[in-house]
Amino acid sequence: MKPKKDITIYDIAQKLDLSSATVSRALQDHPAINKNTRKKIQDAAKELGYRHNNFASSLRKQKTNTIGVIVHELNSNFITSVLAGIEKVTTQAGYDLIIAHSSESFEKEAANALNLFHKRVDGLIASLAFDTKGLDHYKQYEEKGIPVIFFDRVEEKSDSTKVIIDNYKCGYQATQHLIEQGCKRIVLVTANLKRNVYAQRHKGYTDALFDNGIAYNKEYVLIKDLSEQCGVEAALQILKMKPLPDGAFITNDFSAAVCMQTLKEHGVRIPEDIAVVGFNNDAISKIIEPQLTTVHYPGIDMGEIAARNLINHLKGISNINHTNTIVVRSELIIRKSSLKK
C-alpha cells in the first residue's frame, strides 16, 4: 500500500481559504490570530492528519530543542532517579531527551557522544564509564559551543562543569561511624578506583582509619563491579578472612543487601558479628532485615540541578562556564545494620 503524502500548512490553508501565514501562526497558538480561527485551523489540521515538521523547523532555527544524556548504565535506582530529575526540568522547559548508555565501556561512550553530536543536540549531560580516560571525545562540543555538564562520575582535574556529591566526606563518615561502633577490621567493597567517586570514597575510608590509629589492610579492600553477583562474591571472601571482619562499608545498597543476605545464610549475625553500611539510600535499604545504614545520595536533586543549569545556560540566564563544580548535599542515614552499641 502506497503511503499518503504528508499534509502541509498549504493543504490546510487551501481547505479553509486562508493564507499559509495565518495557518502557521494558528498552529503555533499565536495570540495575534483570533481564538475561533485558531480552533478552526487546529481542528482542520487534526482532521487532515497534519504533523508538525520539527526537522525543518530545527534547520531554520539552528536549534533542535533536544538534550542528550549519556549514562553508564540503566539498571540502577540512582540513575533512574537522576533521569527523573532531568526529565522533570527539561519537559517544563520544552526540551526533548535522547538517552544513551555506555554499558561501562569507554568505546561505547565515545560512540554515543559522537552520535548525539551528529543529532545536533542543544546540550549534553553525561556520566562517565568505569574505564573512561580524558574528555577528548567531548572536544567537538566545546569547539561548537555546545554546553556539556558532567554528573556523578566526572574527570575531577578537568575544567568541565560538574555536579557531584562530596564522596570523600561520605567515605570518611561511613567508616568513622563503623569505628565508633567498635569496628577495627573494616572491609571496603567498592569499584574501579580510577573513577572519581570510588577513589574519593576509598580516600575517605583510608583517612578515617588513619585518624583512628587503625592500620590499612589492602586485603580488606575488595574491588568489584557492584552487581548482584558482587554481593555474593564479597560475602564469600569475607567469610574466608581470619579473623572475621567486624565491619563492612559497601558502596552500593543492592550489593550490600545481597552481601548481608549471603552472610546471614552462613550464620553471620548483622550487626552483632559484622556491622554494615551501604551507599545510595535505595528502596532495598529499607526492605532488607535489618534495615541498612546508608549514605543518602539524592539522584533526583542531582538530575534537576544538572538540567536546570544547562537549560539556564541555553536560555542565556546564566553561564555554566563560570561554574566549575556544584556539590549536592548528602548525609549518612543510620539504621540497625550498623548499630553494634
Q: Which domains does the chain have, with CATH numbers?
A: 9-52 (1.10.260.40), 63-165+299-328 (3.40.50.2300), 167-296 (3.40.50.2300)
Q: Which of 55-69, 75-89, 242-256, 320-334 has the lowest mean pLDDT?
A: 55-69
This prediction's pTM: 0.79
Instruction: Please state, for a pLDDT cut of 90, what percent of the chain lies above it.
Output: 67
pLDDT at position 229 over 80: yes
Q: Which of 103-107, 126-130, 162-166, 224-228 has the lowest mean pLDDT?
A: 224-228
Residues 6 or more apart whose CB falls under 8 angstroms from that of 31 comprise none
Residues 6 or more apart whose CB falls under 8 angstroms from that of 69 comprise 83, 86, 97, 98, 99, 100, 124, 125, 126
Span 275-296, pLDDT tens digits: 999 999 999 999 999 999 999 9
Q: How far is CA 136 from the centre of its chain?
A: 21
Query: What's residue 29's pLDDT?
Result: 79
The per-residue pLDDT of the chain, averaged, comes to: 90
Query: What's residue 35's pLDDT?
Result: 87
Q: Which of 129-133, 203-207, 221-225, 255-259 has the lowest mean pLDDT?
A: 129-133
pLDDT at position 157 over 90: no
pLDDT at position 113 over 70: yes
- Reduce the DSSP state of residue 138 to 3 states and report it: helix
Task: Give Rg (Cα) of the chain.
Answer: 26
Q: Which of 30-44, 90-104, 145-159, 285-299 has the lowest mean pLDDT?
A: 30-44
| CB-CB contact of 338 with 181 (8 Å) | yes
pLDDT band at 73 (very low <50, low <70, confident <90, very high): confident
Q: Which of 44-53, 223-232, 245-254 has the lowest mean pLDDT?
A: 44-53
Span 19-62, pLDDT tens digits: 888 888 888 778 888 888 888 888 888 888 877 665 555 545 56
